Amino acid sequence: GNSVTQMEGPVTLSEEAFLTINCTYTATGYPSLFWYVQYPGEGLQLLLKATKADDKGSNKGFEATYRKETTSFHLEKGSVQVSDSAVYFCALDTGRRALTFGSGTRLQVQP
């Protein structure tokens, strides 16, 4: 079946540090891949997406590249801010029903 594996958190960084959150997946076919972000007390919001191999999704300074050869979709940001503190979820869609989510990675950015 489909599954998504994310690095465990929390990830604690200082402001302006480089961020990487690892995500690998198992899926049949050619899934679309997503990163969602959940700020405290809120629902999930779509951060970025990629639909085919080598696509790069980007938004708000975050980037992720769809790597089919390594079945990965790692999230990166060059310089994090305190306002980026949130829980980040990697997810995939194979076109069948709902999304499959990873367990989430909490990011804490300290001033």
Considering the complex, state which of residue 12 and residue 14 has its C-beta at the smaller distance from another protein: 12
Minimum CB separation of residue 68 from another protein in Å reads 17
Structural Rg of the chain based on CA atoms: 13
The Cβ-side half-sphere exposure at 9, using a 13 Å CA radius, reads 23
55, 64 contact by CB (below 8 A):
no
Considering the complex, state which of residue 95 and residue 111 has its C-beta at the smaller distance from another protein: 95
Minimum CB separation of residue 91 from another protein in Å reads 8
What is the C-alpha to C-alpha distance for residues 101 and 92, in angstroms, rounded to an integer? 7
Question: Can you give the binding site for another protein, defined by CB under 8 A?
Answer: 4, 32, 36, 41-46, 49, 51, 89, 93, 95, 97-99, 101-104
